[in-house]
């Protein structure tokens, strides 16, 4: 145990000295005085002694509590905040573990050491509407070892993952999903291209996107973030400083990462573009990037969606059923094409995030104008009704399917007076076809 403690302190000191040497002049020119330094008693009081009833989340790096703090000047209404409590040395209490378990826990401890420093290091200087705001911190050297508490702005609507995967939450409307996609893209574009130093987040996923009261996304979880390569370099190698430890953790813990990074340890901003492509499909489908609870052929989202490309008539099958067809099929197809570009196996062929932002803005504009896309959506519903008819074995089942889909299409047509009359004629043709044909055998496609 004494050996592990020495390793932990060595890594912490090494990381801190590295931080002082390597952080670029553009960062050092910015003042960190905006961060408040809290006492442990302040934060204990803010969370009612870290009451379990106030716990709003828990991750690999600690528990998060909802709390209230006084404003800086002590005047006005209390400020609602989120307080993350990190126990750095808790991972070292392993008892009589064998060597393999010891390695895992040592790795996790080093990962936490670098993570807590990265959160302060980056969030003390990053300023963007789509990046979480770090208000302050508290460091305590207690009986259980060094503890760090981080205080963030409170995000009322939790994370994107909560709304997509937890059905206790109402489904996110199509327009809100587009808003979240654009905000997330803008956050990464800022990190990659809009800040003096290129920053690579390295943990971009649905749970890292927190939503405020208006469902605007803010990127959080900067524990794995690091500086990008120097201007003359294309990537950062895993041989550099703590990257070896973090790469090992990514492999062991199954974190999302670009294939070239997992295979070689070569890290660039294009690796993060790949991760954004995954999240694009996550938002379209409402599925996790990897889900062990699904059939083997559907567990990997990236592999599963390859069966339904954007230009395929079956593309609609990837869409989140909780949307209940209330989306623009044209815009969804364009987003899927953008996702495919981000997921290119050749990093150089992936777009920059600034380019992704511009493409998303265009897609959203078209989606909102949307007359042609909505018409296409209705035509697809009619088409799927016909396909269902051909696959059915009994006329009664056919009538039920067609009536259901036709009713939906008719409702949409009535909502918009500009719909072409030919859609009515197509619906009549479906009904006429059903009336003329009796029972027939299913047709294989």
Query: What is the β-pairing status of strands 36-37 and 134-142?
Result: parallel
Is position 193 within any domain? yes
Is position 318 within any domain? yes
pLDDT number for residue 373: 47
Euclidean distance between CA atoms 93 and 95, whole angstroms: 6
Is position 443 within any domain? no
Write down which residue in 127, 154, 181 finishes a domain: 154
- pTM beyond 0.75: no
Do 9 and 136 share a domain, yes or no? Answer: yes
Q: Annotate 254-314 with DSSP letters as a single string.
A: T----HHHHHH--B-HHHHHHHHHHHHHHHHH---SB-TTS-GGGSBHHHHGGGS-TTSTT
Do 141 and 38 share a domain, yes or no? Answer: yes
pLDDT number for residue 244: 62
DSSP state of 149: E
Q: Please, which residues have CB within 8 angstroms of residue 69's CB and are 6 or more apart in sequence?
A: 38, 42, 43, 46, 78, 79, 81, 135, 151
Do 307 and 423 share a domain, yes or no? Answer: no
Write down which residue in 138, 154, 170 finishes a domain: 154
Task: List, by residue number, the catalytic residues.
Answer: 203
Is position 238 within any domain? yes
Is position 1 within any domain? yes
pLDDT number for residue 119: 87
Residue 151 pairs with which residues in a beta bridge?
83, 136
Signed CA dihedral, 181, 176, 374, 398: sign only? positive
Task: Provide the 10 A C-beta neighbour count for residue 209.
Answer: 26
- Structural domain total, the chain: 3
Mean pLDDT by 10 residues, the chain (445 residues): 38 42 39 80 94 85 89 87 73 35 46 74 94 93 76 96 95 96 98 92 92 97 83 59 58 66 83 96 95 90 94 93 92 96 94 96 82 50 53 44 47 45 52 42 29
Q: Please, which residues have CB within 8 angstroms of residue 188's CB and are 6 or more apart in sequence?
A: 201, 204, 219, 272, 273, 276, 353, 356
Do 168 and 183 share a domain, yes or no? Answer: yes
Annotated binding site: 85
Write down which residue in 136, 154, 172 finishes a domain: 154
Do 242 and 253 share a domain, yes or no? Answer: yes
Q: Are 133 and 152 in contact (CB under 8 A)?
A: yes
Is position 445 within any domain? no
Domain range enclosing 419: 377-436
Do 288 and 388 share a domain, yes or no? Answer: no
pLDDT number for residue 34: 78
Is position 321 within any domain? yes
pLDDT number for residue 259: 85
Do 130 and 159 share a domain, yes or no? Answer: no
CATH number for 193: 1.10.510.10
Is position 441 within any domain? no
Do 336 and 257 share a domain, yes or no? Answer: yes
Do 172 and 146 share a domain, yes or no? Answer: no
CATH number for 146: 3.30.200.20
Do 143 and 39 share a domain, yes or no? Answer: yes
Do 16 and 53 share a domain, yes or no? Answer: yes
Do 418 and 310 share a domain, yes or no? Answer: no
């Amino acid at each position: 145990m004494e050996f592990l403690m020495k390793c932990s302190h060595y890594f912490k000191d090494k990381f801190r000295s590295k931080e002082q040497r390597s952080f670029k002049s553009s960062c050092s020119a910015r003042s960190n005085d905006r961060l408040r330094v809290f006492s442990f008693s302040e934060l204990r009081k803010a969370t009612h002694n870290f009451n379990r009833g106030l716990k709003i989340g828990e991750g690999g790096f600690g528990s998060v509590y909802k709390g209230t703090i006084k404003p800086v000047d002590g005047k006005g209404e209390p400020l609602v905040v989120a307080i993350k409590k990190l126990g750095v040395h808790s991972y070292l209490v392993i008892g009589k573990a064998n060597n393999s378990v010891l390695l895992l826990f040592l790795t996790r401890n080093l990962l936490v050491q670098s993570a807590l420093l990265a959160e302060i290091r980056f969030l003390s200087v990053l300023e963007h509407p789509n990046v979480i705001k770090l208000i302050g911190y508290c460091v305590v050297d207690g009986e259980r070892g060094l503890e760090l508490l981080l205080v963030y702005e409170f995000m009322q609507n939790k994370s994107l993952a909560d709304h997509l995967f937890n059905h206790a939450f109402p489904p996110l409307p199509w327009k809100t999903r587009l808003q979240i996609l654009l905000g997330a893209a803008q956050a990464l574009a800022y990190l990659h291209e809009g800040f003096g130093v290129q920053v690579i987040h390295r943990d971009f996923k649905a749970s890292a996107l927190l939503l405020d009261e208006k469902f605007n996304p803010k990127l959080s979880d900067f524990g794995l973030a690091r500086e990008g390569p120097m201007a003359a370099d294309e990537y950062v190698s895993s041989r550099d400083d703590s990257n070896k430890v973090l790469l090992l953790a990514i492999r062991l813990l199954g974190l999302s990462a670009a294939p070239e990074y997992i295979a070689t340890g070569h890290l660039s901003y294009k690796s993060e573009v790949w991760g954004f492509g995954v999240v694009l499909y996550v938002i379209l489908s409402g599925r996790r990037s990897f889900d062990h609870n699904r059939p083997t052929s559907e567990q990997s989202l990236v592999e599963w969606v390859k069966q339904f490309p954007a230009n395929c008539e079956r593309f609609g099958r990837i869409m989140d059923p909780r949307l209940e067809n209330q989306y623009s099929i044209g815009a969804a197809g364009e987003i899927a094409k953008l996702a495919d570009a981000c997921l290119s196996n050749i990093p150089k062929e992936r777009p920059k995030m600034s380019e992704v932002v511009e493409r998303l803005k265009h897609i959203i504009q078209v989606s909102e104008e949307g007359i042609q896309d909505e018409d296409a959506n209705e035509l697809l519903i009619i088409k799927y009704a016909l396909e269902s008819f051909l696959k059915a074995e009994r006329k009664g089942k056919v009538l039920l399917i067609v009536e259901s889909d036709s009713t939906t299409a008719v409702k949409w047509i009535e909502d918009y007076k500009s719909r072409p009359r030919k859609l009515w004629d197509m619906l009549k043709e479906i009904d006429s076809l059903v009336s003329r044909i009796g029972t027939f055998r299913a047709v294989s496609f």
